[in-house]
A = this chain, B = another copy of it.
Amino acid sequence: MSILERAVQEIADEMRKRTDRGQVASYIPELARVDPNAFGLAVIDAEGNVAAAGDADTPFSIQSISKVFTLTLALGKAGDRLWKRVGREPSGSAFNSIVQLEHEKGIPRNPFINAGAIAVTDLILSGHQPREALGEILRFMQFVADDYSIAIDDKVAASEERTGYRNVALANYMKSFGVLDNPVNFTLGVYYHHCAISMSCRQLAMAGRFLSRAGRNPTTGHVVIPAERARRINAVMLMCGHYDGSGEFAYRVGLPGKSGVGGGILAVAPGKASIAVWSPGLDPAGNSRLGQLALEMLTKRLGWSIFA
């Protein structure tokens, strides 16, 4: 058993015992049905070694983690033009806040709060049918994960679509400022569906490899994105990846990461590893409580913090 495998196993064992798991997200009814005691962890290191433990092969709803991949796609399509539609500063407020939009004429603070991710989705959609845009996003995810079984959970998408009044508000608010190009229901349809992609920790860690490998897919050696863009996406993840808990995550974990309300977190140790963790209970900022703790322990143990 390698040092990495041992660390992953021991952390998963310890997490299994903990009872301070936070609250499972309830605002999307379908997500509330998940097992609160689930815990998975998967790490892929620079040599391609995989270490996994717990429920690392159980698919869960990746939710906002998908926003890392839509940002990557949209930067490929629109380049720096994207930054006219969305900023790259931390928001200083909750993931679904609308206040900031009023003060900044409909321009979201960053691509990882809901409003910003909707604006990014709108850029991907441009000139296409929702079905085509969604297919493109899913194929990109399958390609970077090297796994063509990854799929969308339509029930989750439908559940969010039925109850997503706040997102309808955010999208229409941006539309009123001309920040969205497409019909609001097209953009939101694509948004809800890419948030509803189901993946296991193992699949997610595979999908994140290119961000830890300077933009390259290590399986094939192909350049997914230029190295500079990978660095920049990592920077945005660190600054904005955990909503109003981003400072806390940087302080405790010290890695670029992106959380989702499904309880998953994708973290990137540049040059060292791609890591995915999953535990459904959330802290008040909307980030997986045990997921953060597990990453803090792992980073400390393996000396992977980018800050030393």
Q: Hey, which bits of chain A sit against chain B, CB under 8 A?
A: 87-93, 97-103, 109-110, 165-166, 168-173, 175-176, 184, 214, 227-228, 230-232, 234-236, 238-240, 244-248, 250-251, 254, 256, 270-271, 300, 305-308
Contact = CB atoms under 8 A, between A and B. Distances in A.
Nearest to A96: B176
A248 B89 contact: yes
Contact of A88 (B101, B248, B254): B248
A251 B172 CA distance: 29
Nearest to A244: B89
A52 to B, nearest CB: 25
Contacts of A230: 307-308
Nearest to A173: B169
Contacts of A308: 214, 227, 230-231, 234, 270-271
A235 B307 contact: yes
A95 to B, nearest CB: 13
10 contacts: A87-B247, A89-B245, A89-B248, A90-B246, A92-B92, A165-B172, A214-B308, A231-B305, A235-B247, A236-B250
Q: How many copies does the complex hold?
A: 4
Contact of A99 (B102, B175, B236, B300): B102
A247 B239 contact: yes
A238 B307 contact: yes
A103 B97 CA distance: 10
Contacts of A165: 172-173, 175-176, 184
Contacts of A99: 98-99, 102-103
Contacts of A307: 230-232, 234-235, 238, 256, 270, 306
A227 B303 CA distance: 11
Given A89-B247, A173-B165, A235-B307, A98 B98 contact: yes
A176 B166 contact: yes
A94 to B, nearest CB: 9
**Which residue of A98, A165, A228 has the most chain B CB atoms within 10 A of its CB atom?**
A165
A306 B230 CA distance: 12
Contact of A90 (B87, B176, B247): B247
A93 B109 CA distance: 11
A300 B230 CA distance: 13
A49 to B, nearest CB: 20
A199 B32 CA distance: 51
A40 to B, nearest CB: 26
A71 to B, nearest CB: 12
**Which residue of A102, A234, A239, A307 has the most chain B CB atoms within 10 A of its CB atom?**
A307
A170 B176 CA distance: 11
B250 A235 contact: yes
